[in-house]
Structure 1
Amino acid sequence: MVGTSLESFDFYVFAYFSAFFLGPLFFSPLGEFGSTLTSFLTIALAFVVRPIGAVLFGYMGDRLGRRATLLWTIGIMGVATGLIGMLPTYAQAGWLGAALLIALRIAQGLSLGGEWGGSILIATEHSSPVRRAFFAAIPQLGSPVGSILSATVYIVMTQVLSAEDLAAWGWRIPFLLAIPLLAVSLYLRLTITETPVFRDVVAEGRRDRVPFVTMFARRPLAIVVAIGAALLGIGSYSLMNTYTVNYGVAQLGFAYQDLLVATTIGGLLQLVTIPLFGWWSTRIGSARVVMWGALGTLLITFPMYFLLQFATFPILVGTMIIGGILPTMAWAALGGLMNDLFPDHFRYSALSLSYAIAATVSGFVPALTLALGEATAYA
């Protein structure tokens, strides 16, 4: 869970940063709307390259091992995030800073392509079959933990730094914090042993030469199911933690800190609900929990955004909580469902690519929602 928390922290730091600072700092010549849209597209860029990372690290995970692959993914992510905190802005170096930012986002996206699948397999392949659905939910705690940590950092910063200092140099601090977090994550991952399941695959000579090809040949329908299930959880998280924060500040007039507090409260509750939904998956099956999560999310999405137009702060918190918790049904059960869908000898590739494709689509949710809102005058 520590590794997924760092990955999530890095992602949400960039998400919060893009909503408020990235546009003016790196894309100011494009104007207010253009710079905001470009900043959201920069988020999407990391998602676009994730399938490439999934193929690369999926191959490594199915051929070289789960543990070794996860050391690579966390290392690349941590270094790239730390370097973002050292970039020159447009005012300091023109478009050079933007170009370097894009390059580092590509590195982040590649590493993310192999992180999630490996984390799920480390958790499930060390556990008994009857408890795998529960343990598959544990790495999913990394998302709310990362969201809470990143939001807390920004809340503290807005209290101790002026707006001028935050825009001038304070925005770099969260990215630089990734460096000590990386050291802790690497230390913990070095203590993890290879999974018994992968050791059996090696001992029995069942490793595929090209896992990516094998999974499409043997499990095409399962891949479609896995992508659909992943879309629900990732898309909802992307919408709630990126676009909704920007929408609440820019269009509804809420204070930046209020949105982060609401997000943090929702994240704290998810630390309880995710394990509960994981336990529920062991009772009724991961597929059913995903189905209930999909239905609940579908029912509340439009009423939630309608209420936000008239929201006081308590209503804002309530909608952010409901809008965050219902998708965690599918989020918590996702790893268990995917683990059941694919055999062990190409499981890393299948989990990683299915999740990465869903993440690629979800990465455009904030930009598409912003463009739709602008076209309709946020009616």
Structure 2
Amino acid sequence: MSTIPAAPLRQPTSTRRVAAAATVGTALESYDFYAYSYFAAFFAGPFFFSALGETGALLASFATIGIAFVVRPIGAVLFGHLGDRIGRRSTLLITITLMGIATGLVGLLPTGEGWAAFGAVALVVLRIVQGLSLGGEWGGAVLLATEHADARRRPFFASLPQLGSPIGSVAAGGLMLAMFFGLGPEAMAAWGWRVPFLIAIPLIAVSLYLRWSIDETPVFKELAERGERAKNPVWAAIRTQPAAFGVAILVALLGIGSYSLMNTYTMGYGVTALGFDEMQLLTAATIGGLLQFVTVPLFGVLATRIGSARVVALGALGTLLIAFPIYWLLGSATFAVLVALMIIGGILPTASWAALGGTMQELFRGRHAYSALSVAYALAAVLSGFIPSITAALGAATDEAWWHPGLVLALLSALTLVGAVIAGRMRKLGDEDADAAQAAVAETVPEPA
């Protein structure tokens, strides 16, 4: 007696495709940040805020950078809610679309005296849209990567979205340098500045294809089938796991804050106070960024062996030990020593950065994980955004003492070390939910006849 064979089950999304889909958004986020930072430094003031005078135009252009950070927690609440209600994949399709369109439209803004007011308002609106979308990007990317992975490889896949930062910074910096050298300042001011933003438009197509072609995560599928999605996930996360929120923010401080300190404040401090050339500092920072292409996945592999929280703790402890020596040596460093210091000072915080997603993902229940990760990360990013100004104020108060940036770096390291130690001792609720969801999916697969 013959039987009709059953239709083949759809193969699960490949881990490579999931990793690419998770990483592409954080890369575009970083690319947008650095491309706009260069634009704000050179062109935004003269094009859109010239009526405020030279100083006022510069301050206004830099304020547009800060707008994205201010609205980021709002975006975390909004898209975190959607991510826990309609799904990780669907929400990430929305965030990447908003981010790419807003970035591309910046490159289409009209300039000239007659358009200055319209351009200024439109620029602020687009920056708000970018900030909102960024608030929902990182947490979803981490969950997309980890909730598709098995328990053994989950810490490694959680590290892959962190590659977006060096990818975006190197791409934006390299493109701007190449265009400045290739076109010259006049052509850059006339039309060349638009190119880095317009490139975001084809990047949307690639990003959407990658995210459209993957499945929803097993964790969210299981929550939806069982009717266990939280009605108000942000409030549910705060109400049921308040301690985890505090721990997650502590864990994130060094990974995010060290980047603001080393790549923002130290750049200006190195030129004005230590006498380094701008190109020397940019070269050293670029070498450090390129090195992250290797160190981030390596620390992700290490996290699969010893756990994400321990990797964060090792990075924080190592950074704490070298915080003061680095800035003591920096005052009399040659270019070769400068590069070495930037590499060493970048590798250790990178350990905490690489294992950040895995550590935070383990802290929160799947039913409100998108909201919890997004809001905690956004709050840590907002706090870290003030680090350059706090360090500058400390420098002014101490008459630019060599140790003042080291003190800030040491404090960030100590806080993250405490957070990592506590996180390592908490229950891995995120892993428990992911394991249960994958087990439930496996039970639905029929055994071969």
Would the TM-score normalized by the shorter structure come out above 0.5? yes
**Which of 80, 83, 105 is equivalent to 2:105?**
83
**Which of 123, 126, 133 is equivalent to 1:104?**
126
Q: Match of 1:127? A: 149
Q: 1:290 to 1:19 in 2, by over 3 A?
A: farther
**Which of 186, 211, 227 is equivalent to 1:164?**
186
Q: 1:321 to 1:29 in 2, by over 3 A?
A: farther
**Which of 246, 256, 262 is equivalent to 1:234?**
256
Give the 5 Å matches for 1:2-41: 2-28=24-50, 35-41=57-63
Q: Match of 1:346? A: 368
Separation of aligned partners in 2, 1:66 and 1:52: 18
Q: Match for 1:363: what amino acid?
A: G
Greater displacement, 312-321 / 346-355: 312-321
Separation of aligned partners in 1, 2:48 and 2:272: 19
**Which of 137, 142, 160 is equivalent to 1:115?**
137
Check the 8 A contact 1:28/1:90 in 2, yes or no: no
Separation of aligned partners in 2, 1:42 and 1:304: 32
Give the 5 Å matches for 1:171-182: 171-182=193-204
Q: 1:86 to 1:198 in 2, by over 3 A?
A: same
| Identity across matched positions, percent | 62
Q: Match for 1:135: what amino acid?
A: F
Shift >6 Å, 4+ stretches: 374-377
Q: 1:241 to 1:104 in 2, by over 3 A?
A: farther
Give the 5 Å matches for 1:160-239: 160-239=182-261
Q: 1:228 to 1:28 in 2, by over 3 A?
A: farther
Separation of aligned partners in 2, 1:194 and 1:333: 23
* Number of equivalences: 379
Separation of aligned partners in 2, 1:93 and 1:74: 28
Check the 8 A contact 2:71/2:131 in 1, yes or no: yes
Q: Match for 1:240: what amino acid?
A: M
- Stretches of structure 2 that go unaligned for 5 or more consecutive residues are 1-22, 402-449
1:346-377 CA-to-partner distances (Å, cap 9, x unmatched) read 11111111001111112233344456557777
Q: Match of 2:318? A: 296
Greater displacement, 301-310 / 369-378: 369-378
Q: 1:77 to 1:280 in 2, by over 3 A?
A: same
1:11-31 CA-to-partner distances (Å, cap 9, x unmatched) read 121233334444454445666
Separation of aligned partners in 1, 2:198 and 2:273: 31
Check the 8 A contact 1:26/1:98 in 2, yes or no: yes
Check the 8 A contact 2:49/2:116 in 1, yes or no: no
TM-score (norm 2): 0.77
Greater displacement, 35-44 / 281-290: 35-44
- Secondary structure at the aligned position of 1:111 is classed as helix
Q: Match of 1:68? A: 90
- Secondary structure at the aligned position of 1:16 is classed as helix
- Stretches of structure 1 that go unaligned for 5 or more consecutive residues are none
Check the 8 A contact 1:266/1:320 in 2, yes or no: yes
1:5 Cα deviation from its structure 2 partner: 1.1
Q: Match for 2:222: what amino acid?
A: D
- Secondary structure at the aligned position of 2:345 is classed as helix
Check the 8 A contact 1:88/1:97 in 2, yes or no: yes
Q: 1:161 to 1:252 in 2, by over 3 A?
A: farther
Separation of aligned partners in 1, 2:108 and 2:227: 46
Check the 8 A contact 2:155/2:301 in 1, yes or no: yes
Check the 8 A contact 2:300/2:354 in 1, yes or no: yes
Separation of aligned partners in 2, 1:20 and 1:255: 18
- Secondary structure at the aligned position of 2:172 is classed as helix
Tell me whether 1:266 sits opposite 2:264 in the alignment: no
Tell me whether 1:287 sits opposite 2:312 in the alignment: no
1:159-215 CA-to-partner distances (Å, cap 9, x unmatched) read 212233334432222112111112211111111110111101111111011011111
Q: Match for 1:269: what amino acid?
A: L
Separation of aligned partners in 2, 1:105 and 1:342: 30
Q: Match for 1:266: what amino acid?
A: G
Check the 8 A contact 2:47/2:116 in 1, yes or no: no
1:307 Cα deviation from its structure 2 partner: 4.2
**Which of 384, 409, 433 is equivalent to 1:362?**
384
